[in-house]
Amino acid sequence: MARIHNLGFPRIGAQRELKFALENYWAGDSSLTDLQATGRSLRAAHWQRQAGLDLVPVGDFAWYDQVLTMSATLGVLPERAGHTPGTAIDLDTLFRVARGRAQNSCCGTNAASEMTKWFDTNYHYLVPEFTENQAFHLSYHQLIEETREAIAQGHNAKPVLIGPLTYLWLGKCARPDADKLLLLDDLIPVYRQLLQALRDAGAEWVQMDEPILSLDLPLPWQQAFESTYHRLQIRGLQQLVANYFGELGNNLSVALQLPVAGLHLDAVRGGVEIGRIVDRLSPHKILSLGIVDGRNIWVTDLEAALTVLRPVAERLGDQLWLAPSCSLLHVPVDLTLETALPEDVQPWLAFAQQKLEELVTLKAALAEPHSPAVTEKLKINRAALAARRTSARINQVDVQARVQRLSSHNAFRPTKFAERNKLQQAKFRLPLLPTTTIGSFPQTTEIRKARRLHKQGKLSGREYAQLMRAEIQHAIAVQEKLDLDVLVHGEAERNDMVEYFGEQLTGFAFTQWGWVQSYGSRCVKPPIIVGDVARKQPITLEWARYAQSLTRKPVKGMLTGPNTILCWSFVRDDQPRSRTAQQLALAIRDEVQDLEAAGIGIIQIDEPALREGLPLRKKDWTEYLAWATHAFRVCCAEVADTTQIHTHMCYAEFNDIMDSLIALDADVITLETSRSQMALLDAFEQFTYPNQIGPGVYDIHSPNLPTVEWIAELMHRAAEKIPPQQLWINPDCGLKTRTWPETEAALKVMVRAAKKLRNEFQEQAPKQQATDADAAIGLEPA
């Protein structure tokens, strides 16, 4: 009989219990003992929820991030966080690595570790930092202790580890050209030590996550797999190597030849490979099929799944395991908590809990296909799928016709940037190195409370709008006082940059408890794209108009781009993503045009998820980038030459998509660059990026205050790569997670640095160059 297991359960808690426990602890409002008690009770509850499975995961619980836990386990923490190599690690050290340490603490400041996207998800991990002579030591025992904890509670515990090759791949070396594979020899003995300890704690199986098997790997990395896993064999412990997020592709032979007891495949994204793998699987090896989608929230088509599974079960018998395609970290916990979803939509959905129940049904259906319970479950599933297929909620003929008309033109702005730039400079008359921010200002407790009361009906629409207008007024006043050049309204009215837009569009559904961890204690509640998308009414217009009415300086209109709405929502799976992106683009275009007509001359269309949406395999890039950049251009192709379009991106590497960034043809792009100390700009230099760039000059995730000297240093580095006439000065990203005092203090420093640099750059420039530059930025020649 097939066995069922899970790759990972969401740790944050159905009601974000871990988030609140962490934030209380960090604020000094609760003790470490309280925090640990919350952790223990969440783990126990989550294992209990999974008790119907044959094996439950351990190690999916992390205090901040599972990659950080692995780094701590292996003793790979930066010394600046107070870690002495070779010594045991405590939770506070872990948090210092993740969050940095503010200036006012007793021991100076330290920068947080860099955070970046976990494959193509909206989850962010902390990048392991390898030193020149990195040594590894088993330094942190959370996984071992939790394995004992689960076993003591009567569970068949399967510890989950990030495999050594994926772990190395995710990290960065002090010397960027260093060969990380050289670290393997020292790393493997510590993995062995860990595996032995897990076996001694009572584990029979471990899951070694190696999702880099979904990537195009260089040959030495492919070759390293077999010998690594040979060296990791431990008597009495069976290993399941798990690949997810894609097909194995040209890593298929590598995976099949691994000297391990089992292999997990992402059968949702890599379903085409099942036949080939079953045919070549060594006898006695376990094949775990990730048949239930761990990345989306639609119910599984159980009949279709069984059609795939039956012949495999026939061939493999007990050696077949069933699982979700990947960890359920990326979906909300429990659909049964939802009380406000449309009645017809609810049966179409499955969250983590329901996905595990689907596995139970699939197992039963393979074992006893004709049992009344199975027949009933399949009947309910069929009915849900049929109702969704034929629902009137899905189709809007006029939206589809509009998209149809769109597909034929490429949506480039007719006038070249160089010409637009002159016109825009003449209009806005901005100084050299204009200053701006990325959009959001602090989302204070008062703002969130007001929104909660409004949602509960305890604060009227008028009262709520009044409070939000007061926030806008405050944000504008602060920015004027700081003497920023291009202002923003501050996004006070938005719960989230994606959910907020979804709420104003047709075709979306929303959850109350559908929280998914984004990083650390921060969560998002992705809206669900159920049907065709269109704008119901203007979305941001009144807020933007109000903000602009308060100042003579330009206020940027602030929109979320179609690709980002797509990536950060749960998307429909009944049409190509590209078509949904086109529908979203038309909706955003309507908003852009309304803003322009209302006199908003600068409009930012955020696309931080453009890079995240990139397929993991290069062969799929061209097609994606063509439709994604097209969707962006659709939003702004028809604005006047004098309307300045900004875009913003964060948490991404851009080297490999520079052509596409250029193809967006935004007048200004603002980027997160401070943590890489402007290294991200190398690609912009190399490709002679033609338009304007605002490289982020300070990290908004840290409460650490930047200094004028540090910002000046970064901007000097930027100016070595990009002519100063093309540069803006801004923070890395939005300021919603900061407090007002931190925000004002940091921006004050930023503006001071900008003024200092302006003088410097203007003095340094040779006369002729200065004249050209002045003309380019709209100043009268001297």
Ligand X SMILES: CN1c2c(nc(N)[nH]c2=O)NC[C@@H]1CNc1ccc(C(=O)N[C@@H](CCC(=O)N[C@@H](CCC(=O)N[C@@H](CCC(=O)O)C(=O)O)C(=O)O)C(=O)O)cc1
Q: Is residue 665 classed exposed, middle or buried when 0-12, 13-18 and 19+ CB atoms within 10 A define those classes?
A: buried
Residue 495's CB is within 10 A of a number of other CB atoms, namely 18
Q: How far, CA to CA in Å, does 504 sit from each of 460, 501, 529?
A: 18, 5, 12
Nearer residue to Zn ion within complex by CB, 591 or 607: 607
Stretch that binds ligand HCS, among 4-12, 147-155, 279-287, 728-736 (CB under 6 A): 728-736
Distance from the first to the final alpha carbon of the chain: 84
The three state secondary structure string of 705-749 is CCCHHHHHHHHHHHHHHCCHHHECEECCCCCCCCCHHHHHHHHHH
416 annotated ligand binder: no
Nearer residue to Zn ion within complex by CB, 90 or 114: 114
606 annotated ligand binder: yes
- Pattern 558-577, binding to ligand HCS, x per CB under 6 A? x-------------------
* Smallest separation (angstroms) from ligand HCS to the CB of 548: 17
The yes or no reply on residue 11 touching ligand X (CB under 6 A) is no
- How far apart are the C-alpha atoms of 195 and 210, rounded to whole Å? 16
87: alpha, beta or left, given left = phi > 0 and alpha = psi -120 to 50?
A: beta
- Quick check: helix, strand or coil at residue 270? coil
Strands (E) in 507-615, as ranges, are 508-509, 516-519, 522-524, 528-529, 556-560, 602-606
Pick one of 11, 16, 199, 648: the residue that binds ligand HCS (CB under 6 A). 648
* Smallest separation (angstroms) from ligand HCS to the CB of 116: 14
Count of H-run helices and E-run strands, the chain: 27, 21
The yes or no reply on residue 520 touching Zn ion (CB under 5 A) is no
- Pattern 477-516, binding to ligand HCS, x per CB under 6 A? --------------------x-------------------
Residue nearest to ligand X (CB): 495
Q: CB within 8 A of 49, min separation 6: which ones?
A: 9, 353, 356
Q: Give the phi and the psi of residue 256 in degrees, each rounded to 5.
A: -65, -30
- How far apart are the C-alpha atoms of 186 and 193, rounded to whole Å? 12
* Smallest separation (angstroms) from ligand X to the CB of 498: 4
Q: CB within 8 A of 729, min separation 6: which ones?
A: 433, 434, 435, 436, 694, 697, 711, 715, 750, 753, 754, 757
Q: Which of residues 541-560 bind ligand HCS (CB under 6 A)?
A: 558
The yes or no reply on residue 458 touching ligand X (CB under 6 A) is no
How many residues touch ligand HCS under the rule CB under 6 A: the total is 12
Chain-centre distance for alpha carbon 176: 24
The yes or no reply on residue 123 touching ligand X (CB under 6 A) is no
Q: What tokens does 238 get?
A: 């069976």
Determine whether 701 is an active site residue: yes
Stretch that binds Zn ion, among 4-12, 100-108, 489-497, 608-616 (CB under 5 A): 608-616
* Smallest separation (angstroms) from ligand X to the CB of 743: 14
Nearer residue to Zn ion within complex by CB, 352 or 650: 650
Nearer residue to ligand HCS within complex by CB, 606 or 612: 606
Q: How far, CA to CA in Å, does 261 sit from each of 222, 230, 281?
A: 19, 12, 11
Nearer residue to ligand X within complex by CB, 608 or 613: 608
The yes or no reply on residue 447 touching ligand HCS (CB under 6 A) is no
The answer to whether residues 143 and 69 touch, using CB atoms and an 8 Å cutoff, is yes
The yes or no reply on residue 122 touching ligand X (CB under 6 A) is yes
Handedness of CA 18, 23, 24, 28 (dihedral sign): positive
* Smallest separation (angstroms) from ligand X to the CB of 604: 13
Nearer residue to Zn ion within complex by CB, 438 or 751: 438
Q: Give the phi and the psi of residue 430 in degrees, each rounded to 5.
A: -85, 150
Catalytic residue among 137, 230, 701, 716: 701
- How far apart are the C-alpha atoms of 158 and 80, rounded to whole Å? 34
Stretch that binds ligand HCS, among 113-121, 146-154, 412-420, 732-740 (CB under 6 A): 732-740
Helix (H) or strand (E) holding 30: none
The yes or no reply on residue 743 touching ligand X (CB under 6 A) is no
Pick one of 351, 513, 568, 654: the residue that binds ligand X (CB under 6 A). 568
Stretch that binds Zn ion, among 60-68, 589-597, 731-739, 756-764 (CB under 5 A): 731-739
Q: What's 298's DSSP letter?
A: B
- Quick check: helix, strand or coil at residue 689? coil
The yes or no reply on residue 468 touching ligand HCS (CB under 6 A) is no
Nearer residue to ligand HCS within complex by CB, 384 or 733: 733
- How far apart are the C-alpha atoms of 528 and 551, rounded to whole Å? 37
* Smallest separation (angstroms) from ligand HCS to the CB of 606: 5
Pick one of 72, 160, 316, 498: the residue that binds ligand X (CB under 6 A). 498
The yes or no reply on residue 438 touching ligand HCS (CB under 6 A) is yes
- Quick check: helix, strand or coil at residue 110? strand
* Smallest separation (angstroms) from ligand HCS to the CB of 241: 35
* Smallest separation (angstroms) from Zn ion to the CB of 610: 12
Stretch that binds ligand X, among 275-283, 442-450, 665-673, 713-721 (CB under 6 A): 442-450
Q: How many residues does the chain have?
A: 782
Stretch that binds ligand HCS, among 424-432, 517-525, 729-737, 742-750 (CB under 6 A): 729-737
16 annotated ligand binder: yes
Nearer residue to ligand HCS within complex by CB, 650 or 714: 650
Q: What torsion, rounded to 10 degrees, do the Cα atoms 94, 100, 104, 105 define?
A: 20
* Smallest separation (angstroms) from ligand X to the CB of 609: 7
* Smallest separation (angstroms) from ligand X to the CB of 716: 28
* Smallest separation (angstroms) from ligand X to the CB of 497: 5
- Quick check: helix, strand or coil at residue 292? strand
What DSSP string runs through 189-202? HHHHHHHHHHHHTT
672 annotated ligand binder: yes
Q: Which residue has the tokens 């604020």?
A: 27
Half-sphere exposure of 160 (CA within 13 A, CB side): 25
Q: What's 349's DSSP letter?
A: B
Nearer residue to ligand HCS within complex by CB, 211 or 734: 734
Handedness of CA 731, 733, 738, 739 (dihedral sign): positive
Pick one of 164, 434, 608, 695: the residue that binds ligand HCS (CB under 6 A). 608
**If you compute the radius of gyration of the chain from its CA atoms, what whole number of angstroms results?**
27
| Amino acid at residue number 675 | R
The yes or no reply on residue 730 touching ligand X (CB under 6 A) is no
The yes or no reply on residue 14 touching ligand HCS (CB under 6 A) is no
The yes or no reply on residue 636 touching ligand HCS (CB under 6 A) is no
The yes or no reply on residue 650 touching Zn ion (CB under 5 A) is yes
Residue nearest to ligand HCS (CB): 734
733 annotated ligand binder: yes
Pick one of 608, 613, 696, 703: the residue that binds Zn ion (CB under 5 A). 608
Nearer residue to ligand HCS within complex by CB, 10 or 490: 490
3 annotated ligand binder: no
- How far apart are the C-alpha atoms of 495 and 454, rounded to whole Å? 12
Residues paired with residue 129 on neighbouring β-strands, in sequence order = 172
Summarize the annotated binding site as residue ranges.
Answer: 16-19, 117, 122, 438-440, 491, 522-523, 568, 606, 612, 648, 650, 672, 733
Write out the residues near ligand X by the rule CB under 6 A. Answer: 122, 443, 445, 448-449, 451-452, 495-498, 518, 522-525, 568, 608, 736-737
Q: Which residues sit in the known binding site for L-methionine?
A: 438-440, 491, 606
Binding residues for L-homocysteine, by number, are 438-440, 491, 606
Contact residues for Zn ion, defined by CB under 5 A? 608, 650, 733
- Residues interacting with ligand HCS, by CB under 6 A? 438-440, 497, 558, 606, 608, 648, 650, 733-734, 736
User: So which residues are the catalytic ones?
Assistant: 701
